[in-house]
Amino acid sequence: MISLFVGAGQAGCGLVDRVVSYENVSSLVTPVAVNSTIQDLQNLSTIERTSWLGVTPEGELVNGTEPGFEEQVEGGFGRKPRRADEIASGMVDTMAREFDEIVGDTPRYAFVFVGLGGGTGCGIAPHVIDAIQSFAERETRIITVAVLPNTSGETSRDDDRSAVRQATNAIYGLDRLEPVSDGIILIDNHRLAYEDAAQGQFSEFNRYVASGIVDLISGPILENVDPGTVDDFEAQQIELSDIHTTLDLQNGTGYATLCRSVMKTQSLAGYLLPFVGKQSIDGDTLAQLAISKRSVADLQPGLARKAIGQVRAPERYVTDSDDQIKVSIIRRRLDSYCPEVNTGMVLTERNLASFTALLTFDRADIPRLAEIERLATDSEVTGTVWQVVSPGSLHWWSWSPQRSHWPRWAVTWRRHNTPAPRFRTLSRRSSRSRRPQTRRPPWGRLPTLRPY
């Protein structure tokens, strides 16, 4: 059955476009691009215009084939996911009908690709998932591929591209995606902080991610290699159901890191003289290299809850006893990390051996997410909570001035439906301190408040 691959926002659409550019993947995947900027959609090279859905600032969803599409879809949301969230919340039904027309049959699995540092993808992705579930009548399993932002830059809140703004957006997006996703695969752009992005590192990283996703979902279809023609080989193909099981934790949504390594099976001389230049491949080395190149850094593999991996290699490395890549050795490596492991092996006609894996963690065991959350939380201005109590009143009130969206200040009032204390009190509490400090009001006397 064909799966649905939806890109939300610039980063998500770009990844889906890269995935479906691989040969034979179109027979497995129906791609859809949802974005709010026409320029980003026009940069797509593989996803056809009939599968474009444009989000307008006025809250309309426009199909890419409609007249005047370019004029209507041109704004974007400028790294403001809350605004995109507000707009997209009113177009779930329309989006569901569009998915029904584009896809047709109900897909059993849907992959939603989204970048968490910006505005459009981060804001609309949960509503995209709601639309998929609406037209599929809740029968589709949702796997989210989420791209974490690079937070190595300046921490000023004034700059829309600052680490603070992107970290805040990322946590906002994850908190809303987690309840509606069966599993989340994390891709961390922060790994590029140590590279020179100007020399095409982002493009290489996207290719690394796309090739890993393709390798896991395609099995033998990717190269049309029939395992039945190979003697003494029993195909061990990874199914989408296996991926879903690996990402689904009993205590909640699992967060996975993508691991992938590729090694040449033939030297340069071997391309000129076919009978020379054969390279030996050690399975454990192949697995270790993949784990070291995981898409999220600073993870402890020993904290993984589940793992799944697939080897793709030429026939000689599958059937020849002298050169065979031992899947049992790779499995033993994964078994040393976690108790639940699934492995597979498929054939390739290329002179490359690859290993692609997913290691699934609980969110609390991923230091990178804790770092992003700390950056987003510590950057918030310390608020002051004033609790105003009137003696004998059945209700009491509190208000808190907070700088929520720089540089604007907001005051939040809260009504408490509990009996008020006996004496008038006014307490001041810092948001970074759990211990309230009682003090006199700055204006010298308590304001007069009537019960609601």
Q: What tens-digit pLDDT sequence spans the chain (452 residues)?
A: 579 999 999 999 999 999 999 888 888 899 999 999 999 999 999 999 999 999 998 889 999 999 999 989 987 888 889 999 999 999 999 999 999 999 988 899 999 999 998 899 999 999 999 999 999 888 899 999 999 998 876 555 555 567 888 999 999 999 999 999 999 999 998 876 544 444 455 577 888 999 999 999 987 666 666 666 666 656 678 899 999 999 999 888 999 999 999 998 876 665 566 665 678 889 999 999 999 999 998 899 999 999 999 999 888 888 777 788 888 999 999 999 999 999 988 888 888 899 999 999 999 999 999 999 998 886 554 333 444 444 444 444 444 444 333 333 344 444 444 444 433 333 333 333 333 333 434 444 444 443 33
Residue 201 counted as domain residue: no
Answer whether 102's CB lies under 8 Å from 30's CB.
Answer: yes
Residue 42 counted as domain residue: yes
Structure tokens at 336: 């040393």
Residue 444 counted as domain residue: no
Report the C-alpha gap between 244 and 126 in whole angstroms. 19
Residue 421 counted as domain residue: yes
Residue finishing a domain among 369, 395, 428: 369
| Same domain for 68 and 36 | yes
| Same domain for 68 and 142 | yes
| Same domain for 418 and 307 | no
| Same domain for 30 and 129 | yes
| Same domain for 247 and 114 | no
Q: For residue 411, report the phi and psi dihedrals to the nearest 5 degrees.
A: -115, 125
Domain count, the chain: 3
Residue finishing a domain among 331, 349, 369: 369
Range of the domain at 114: 3-181
User: What are the residues facing 343 on neighbouring strands?
Assistant: 309
Instruction: For CA atoms 238, 243, 244, 245, give the dihedral sign.
Output: positive
| Same domain for 387 and 419 | yes
Tell which residue, 242, 254, 13, has the closest CA to residue 125: 13
Query: Which are the contacts of 275, defined by CB distance < 8 A and separation ≥ 6?
Result: none
Residue finishing a domain among 349, 369, 389: 369
Please tell me whether residue 179 adopts helix, strand or coil conformation: helix
Residue 202 counted as domain residue: no
| Same domain for 122 and 230 | no
| Same domain for 280 and 147 | no
Query: Which are the contacts of 192, defined by CB distance < 8 A and separation ≥ 6?
Result: 150, 201, 202, 205
| Same domain for 358 and 385 | no
CATH number at residue 268: 3.30.1330.20
Residue 191 counted as domain residue: no
What pTM was computed for the model? Answer: 0.80
